[in-house]
């Protein structure tokens, strides 16, 4: 399912005709579906588009506000203000509100650690009451270190409950968090800490991953040393003791989390936050330059993630629901659908620390059976890995607790969809294939269980308030089944409010493509949000996402800028120039192919030396960015195909990486045709 952009539009190569009608809620052990019929969906959707203020103002009443808003929406493209003038606190809505309403003893977070060979699984049940106390303690501890409203706290941890506590504690006192995925390297920490001007890091000694310890504290130490040299010192590093591994200690800077919590009072009032106050930064890849700090604010994000959680997963309190979103909290999926959208719905959010195949490939199914998981939300790359590991691991477990299955992160191929439906969903559970992005904050195009008939590979229809369309580059709507650019034509509550510290990049990246006539404020070329994805819409109005249109690749459901991997490669002594593109990959969906030009002094003399150098380049990228960015294929080449103006022609490299030896695309702008011929001749990897 790839998209190729040419002057004639975007070609779609998928033709899937199967349809699966919704099932009755009772068949899945649920009292009801929140939205009962397609008619109700269409009527509500229409209303949400025609009267967004009435719609969202009504929904927001389901949550707690210290002070009501003056206006639901003020839209001055590309700047939206939602619930302007209102005061609220997201930690209060996740935690305190549940305690105050008498549900303090309900389990908010159910957690399972990874280690288990030979032993019992390590399980923790964190009630809403306990969560309230712990977030209050950590909030007080942060305050005692001088953290205040508006500061940015960096969090770099494994999947432990303290990660959720850290984010909630920040929200409680109005500090923004910037969570860095625990699989990223020291360099990634340096870039993000510096960009966010953060001087407090919360981390752990280590994190368990497939039986080994990821040295989180050591990575933070290395990052802090670099930051010190760069004149951006980190004042405080708070360390959770999780794995018990030895760590270096800087007494003037480092503090054990356990000590801080033990000393801090367990009462801390929630800061009254403006609806438009910053809630968090989350760094994501762009097509050029450094990662961008996507900025989300409080009120709109809270309302939107609450409502999507409720309707997309059909959450109903007091029905024994346990939702498991398998993403790491370091990605937006974990922010929105492990913590912020789920807890205000007062169901249990399940968190797992480790790898899906530790100690064996049945771990996930074992977890679902033991914890009676009802909502299971994962990524296509994981589903493909499960398929490869074999049905026998699934078959020996009872998965009958499952009610709704979800998919996110990349287009799900119909084969994986069918396997998910048959093997995990017992041909009963609705599959919600949810399209969204770090920037959108919450799910945007998605089936609603019990309402939307699903088609394998389609994320189906827009959620309430989402005016999604397929446009050509002039902003005209494309006819059915014609590929184009996926755009959102109206603001929605959880949209990003900017890129931290880079206003121009915000405008250029998301708001500059369309020259829309009318309603065009002087400071913004277009009031339409451009997602950077290509898509088509079928005759039923269903969306089929075809992939990214820019130089960003989506590996195993995570966006990586080719530019970042290229910079890492070029930083290696042996490399003069590098171009990175996506290529088809059986498990990851998209793998990374790197075309590398070597310095004359580093030319390998034989195949063995060549392999060794490739391995060293892979290790180097892993060191610079993280294992996730390691190229799957490296090809040495004397030159890269370039345009006359010197731009690398990545689309040609994409075809070559896909094994296509007879590139038939337009090569008229290519400066030196012999470069292409050489690359085509030589298809070793």
Interacting residues toward ligand PRX by CB under 6 A: 284, 332-333, 407-411, 433-438, 459, 531-533, 545, 548, 554, 558-559
Task: Please state, as a whole number, how many other Cβ atoms lie within 10 Å of the Cβ of residue 598.
Answer: 21
Looking at the Cβ atoms of 328 and 410, the one nearer to ligand PRX is: 410
Integer-rounded Cα radius of gyration of the chain? 25
Task: Please state, as a whole number, how many other Cβ atoms lie within 10 Å of the Cβ of residue 558.
Answer: 24
What's the min distance (Å) between Cβ of 460 and ligand PRX?
Answer: 10
**Token pair for residue 230?**
């760069």
80 by DSSP, 3-state: which?
Answer: strand
What's the min distance (Å) between Cβ of 559 and ligand PRX?
Answer: 4
**Token pair for residue 77?**
């493209």
At 279, give phi and psi (nearest 5°): -100, -50
What's the min distance (Å) between Cβ of 292 and ligand PRX?
Answer: 11
What's the min distance (Å) between Cβ of 544 and ligand PRX?
Answer: 9
What's the min distance (Å) between Cβ of 458 and ligand PRX?
Answer: 9
8 Å CB contact between 287 and 533? no
Looking at the Cβ atoms of 175 and 416, the one nearer to ligand PRX is: 416
Looking at the Cβ atoms of 313 and 436, the one nearer to ligand PRX is: 436
Looking at the Cβ atoms of 361 and 447, the one nearer to ligand PRX is: 447
**Token pair for residue 241?**
């003791």
Reference 141, options 266, 293, 16; nearest CA is 266
On the CB side of 357, CA atoms within 13 Å amount to: 9
Looking at the Cβ atoms of 174 and 341, the one nearer to ligand PRX is: 341
Looking at the Cβ atoms of 442 and 641, the one nearer to ligand PRX is: 442
What's the min distance (Å) between Cβ of 488 and ligand PRX?
Answer: 12
Reference 105, options 133, 123, 125, 129; nearest CA is 129
Task: Please state, as a whole number, how many other Cβ atoms lie within 10 Å of the Cβ of residue 504.
Answer: 9
646 by DSSP, 3-state: which?
Answer: coil
Gap between the terminal Cα atoms of the chain: 23
On the CB side of 76, CA atoms within 13 Å amount to: 4
Looking at the Cβ atoms of 114 and 410, the one nearer to ligand PRX is: 410
Looking at the Cβ atoms of 346 and 558, the one nearer to ligand PRX is: 558
Where does residue 527 fall: left (phi above 0), alpha (psi -120 to 50 degrees), or beta otherwise?
alpha
Looking at the Cβ atoms of 238 and 383, the one nearer to ligand PRX is: 383
What's the min distance (Å) between Cβ of 249 and ligand PRX?
Answer: 35
8 Å CB contact between 408 and 379? yes
Looking at the Cβ atoms of 449 and 641, the one nearer to ligand PRX is: 449
Looking at the Cβ atoms of 437 and 567, the one nearer to ligand PRX is: 437
* Closest residue to ligand PRX: CB criterion: 438
8 Å CB contact between 393 and 361? yes
What's the min distance (Å) between Cβ of 440 and ligand PRX?
Answer: 8
What's the min distance (Å) between Cβ of 437 and ligand PRX?
Answer: 4
Please give the DSSP secondary-structure letter assigned to residue 435.
Answer: B
Q: How many angstroms separate the Cα of 667 from the Cα of each of 11, 295, 396, 653, 677?
A: 18, 40, 54, 12, 11
The strand pair at 322-325 and 348-352 is best described as parallel
What's the min distance (Å) between Cβ of 481 and ligand PRX?
Answer: 17
What's the min distance (Å) between Cβ of 683 and ligand PRX?
Answer: 28
C-alpha–C-alpha distance, residues 486 and 484, integer Å? 6
Looking at the Cβ atoms of 276 and 533, the one nearer to ligand PRX is: 533
What's the min distance (Å) between Cβ of 379 and ligand PRX?
Answer: 8
Looking at the Cβ atoms of 92 and 301, the one nearer to ligand PRX is: 301
Task: Please state, as a whole number, how many other Cβ atoms lie within 10 Å of the Cβ of residue 425.
Answer: 22
What's the min distance (Å) between Cβ of 517 and ligand PRX?
Answer: 27
* Beta-carbon contacts of residue 240 (< 8 Å; ≥ 6 apart): 157, 160, 162, 202, 203, 204, 205, 256, 257, 258
Task: Please state, as a whole number, how many other Cβ atoms lie within 10 Å of the Cβ of residue 195.
Answer: 21
C-alpha–C-alpha distance, residues 111 and 127, integer Å? 11
């Amino acid at each position: 399912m790839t998209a190729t952009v040419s002057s004639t539009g975007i070609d779609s190569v998928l033709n899937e005709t199967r349809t699966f009608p919704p099932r009755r809620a009772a068949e899945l052990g649920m009292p009801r579906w929140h939205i009962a019929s397609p008619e109700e969906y269409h009527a509500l959707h229409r209303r949400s588009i025609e009267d967004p203020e009435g719609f969202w103002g009504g929904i927001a009443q389901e949550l707690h506000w210290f002070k009501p808003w003056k206006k639901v929406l003020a839209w001055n493209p590309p700047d939206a203000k939602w619930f302007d003038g209102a005061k609220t606190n997201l930690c209060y809505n996740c935690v305190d509100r549940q305690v105050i309403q008498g549900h303090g003893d309900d389990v908010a977070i159910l957690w399972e650690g990874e280690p288990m060979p030979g032993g019992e699984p390590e399980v923790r049940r964190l009630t809403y009451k306990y969560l309230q106390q712990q977030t209050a303690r950590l909030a007080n501890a942060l305050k005692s270190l001088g953290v205040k409203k508006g500061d940015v706290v960096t969090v770099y941890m494994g999947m432990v409950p303290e990660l959720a506590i850290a984010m909630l504690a920040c929200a409680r006192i109005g500090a923004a968090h910037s969570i860095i995925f625990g699989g990223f390297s020291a360099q990634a920490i340096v870039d993000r800490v510096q960009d966010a001007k953060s001087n407090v890091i919360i981390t752990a000694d280590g994190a368990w991953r497939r039986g080994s310890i990821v040295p989180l504290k050591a990575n933070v130490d290395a990052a802090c040393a670099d930051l010190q040299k760069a004149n951006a010192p980190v004042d405080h590093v708070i360390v959770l003791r999780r794995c018990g591994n030895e760590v270096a200690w800087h007494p003037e800077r480092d503090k054990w989390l356990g000590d801080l919590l033990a000393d801090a009072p367990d009462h801390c009032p929630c800061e009254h936050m403006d609806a438009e106050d910053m809630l968090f930064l989350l760094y994501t890849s762009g097509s050029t330059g450094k990662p961008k700090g996507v900025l989300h604010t409080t009120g709109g994000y809270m309302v939107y993630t609450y409502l999507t959680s409720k309707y997309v997963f059909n959450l109903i309190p007091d029905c024994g629901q346990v939702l498991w979103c398998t993403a790491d909290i370091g990605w937006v999926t974990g922010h929105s659908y492990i913590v912020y959208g789920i807890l205000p719905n007062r169901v249990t959010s399940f968190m797992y620390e480790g790898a899906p195949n530790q100690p064996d490939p049945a771990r996930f199914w074992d977890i679902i059976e033991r914890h009676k998981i009802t909502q299971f939300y994962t990524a296509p790359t994981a589903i493909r890995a499960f398929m490869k590991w074999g049905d026998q691991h699934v078959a020996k477990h009872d998965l009958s607790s499952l009610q709704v299955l979800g998919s996110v992160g990349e287009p799900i191929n119909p084969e994986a969809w069918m396997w998910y439906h048959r093997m995990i969903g017992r041909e009963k559970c609705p599959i919600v294939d949810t399209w969204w992005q770090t920037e959108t904050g919450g799910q945007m195009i998605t089936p609603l269980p019990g309402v939307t008939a699903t088609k394998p590979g389609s994320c189906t229809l827009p959620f309430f308030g989402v005016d999604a369309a397929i446009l050509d580059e002039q902003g005209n709507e494309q006819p059915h089944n014609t590929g184009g650019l996926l755009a959102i034509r109206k603001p929605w509550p959880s949209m990003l409010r900017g890129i931290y510290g880079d206003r121009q990049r915000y405008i250029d990246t998301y708001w500059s493509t369309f020259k829309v006539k009318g309603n065009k404020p002087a400071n913004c070329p277009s009031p339409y949000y451009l997602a950077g994805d290509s898509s088509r819409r079928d005759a039923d109005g269903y969306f089929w996402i075809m992939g990214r249109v820019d130089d960003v690749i989506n590996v195993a459901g995570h966006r990586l800028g080719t530019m970042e991997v290229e910079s890492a490669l070029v930083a290696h002594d042996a490399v003069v120039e590098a171009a990175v593109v996506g290529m088809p990959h059986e498990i990851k969906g998209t793998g990374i192919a790197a075309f590398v030009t070597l310095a004359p002094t580093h030319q390998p003399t034989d195949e063995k030396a060549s392999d060794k150098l490739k391995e060293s380049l892979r290790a180097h990228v892993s060191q610079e960015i993280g294992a996730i960015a390691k190229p799957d294929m490296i090809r040495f080449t004397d030159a890269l195909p370039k345009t006359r103006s010197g731009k690398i022609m990545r689309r040609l490299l994409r075809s070559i990486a896909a094994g296509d030896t007879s590139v038939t695309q337009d090569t008229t702008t290519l400066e030196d045709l012999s470069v292409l011929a050489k690359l085509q001749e030589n298809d070793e990897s």
